[in-house]
Amino acid sequence: MSTPTDDLALLVLEDGTVHRGRAYGARGRTLGEAVFTTGMTGYQETLTDPSYAGQIIVQTSPHIGNTGVNDTDRESRAIFAAGYVVRDAARRPSNWRAERTLDEELEAFGVVGIREVDTRVITRRLRTEGSMRAGVYSGEHAGRPEAELLAEVREQPSMAGARLAETVTTEQPYVIEPAAHGWEGEPLAEIAALDLGIKAATPRHLASRGIRVHVLPATAGLEEIRAVSPDGVFLSNGPGDPATADAQVALLREVLDAGLPFFGICFGNQIFGRALGFDTYKLKFGHRGPNQPVMDNATGRVAITSQNHGFAVDAPLGEPVEAPETRYGRVEVSHWSLNDQVVEGLRLLDRPAFSVQFHPESAAGPNDTLDLFDRFVRMLTEHRDAAAPAATEGA
């Protein structure tokens, strides 16, 4: 049976591969980096994760949209993904929490997608050749010559060198109060959280543990951080190439030099690595999905983690080493991937600072590493309590 012309959609990869399917979501054209994610659930959290800005998401799970979408499970204010690729889109959602169909949500946010393509073939291509520039075309664009579409795909810039955190960050600072998330009594501590593409679950987990979270734009400097008198600083996940984050690297060095406790996730981990003097590099096809095994060096425990990153820190596994920026002392790789030994976490041994490459807040995904938020809370309170007697004696 032929596909109606007005419903035709094409996925064009920069290697010249063209996949023909049917339009899904908004009609039009979109360009981005094609990447695959292995999650069987949590497609709404995936789409609303700002770390996917500039990327065309290929879902390896064949059935997408079964539970619809709702306003509760969003991880940000919008869908930041550039495009969406699925095999079998649900004809109608079947879940008591559903408020809209996924098709309607994609259309509302202007996300151009494609369905009824063989996502197994596409995923194997991306695993073999690596993530690549791509385009999704539907509506009037689907009738354009394929050679013209391929040229357009190849002319777009690569994700390497992309600076995107500033495009997804909050425009204005805001505060997440512990009382709004079940905490009773006074806050245990306050932190400044730099929004590089933060997911809503992260400050929610911190607030539920008694932390007042001051969320600041990605462009904030040390003056804005000091203005909220934080007990520590947090750097969030986010999109783009960490090699472009010179401003945030410089800021984090000021934070570390000031002796403030630090915790970073994903993009924050890469910025931490750069601040310590390590390089970062682009992975062939990245880690994306809530089923990534990670080894915890301190405990020998294997955690199944939720991940979304295409770049990694180039630091040595094994025994602790002196940081290339020697004033920060000794550093160790605290976590690494059991699939490919990619660095998944860093910890300073002489200062209160650590980071992880995965997403301990899950959303969606397993809860194996939620204890990292407890660890950060302990670090904040212990560092503040230890500093209090010294400040009293100095007075």
- Binding site residues, as ranges? 51, 238, 240, 267, 270, 308, 310-311
Which positions ≥6 away from 355 have C-beta within 8 Å?
A: 235, 262, 263, 264, 265, 268, 269, 272, 273, 345, 346, 347
State how far the alpha carbon of 64 is from the alpha carbons of 59, 89, 206, 250, 256, in Å: 8, 5, 31, 41, 43
CB–CB of 22/106 below 8 Å?
no
| Cα–Cα distance for residue pair 164/295, rounded to 1 Å | 30
d(CA 19, CA 119): 10
CA atoms within 13 A of residue 296's CA, in its CB half-sphere = 16
**Length of the chain in terms of residues written:** 395
The annotation places the binding site for L-glutamine at 51, 238, 240, 267, 270, 308, 310-311
Residues recognised as catalytic:
266, 359, 361
Cα–Cα distances (Å) from 164 to 16, 74, 111, 179, 249, in that order, read 27, 20, 18, 32, 15
Supply φ then ψ for residue 273, to 5 degrees.
Answer: -60, -45
The secondary structure of 123-146 as a DSSP string is HHHHHHH-SEEEEEEEGGGGGS-H
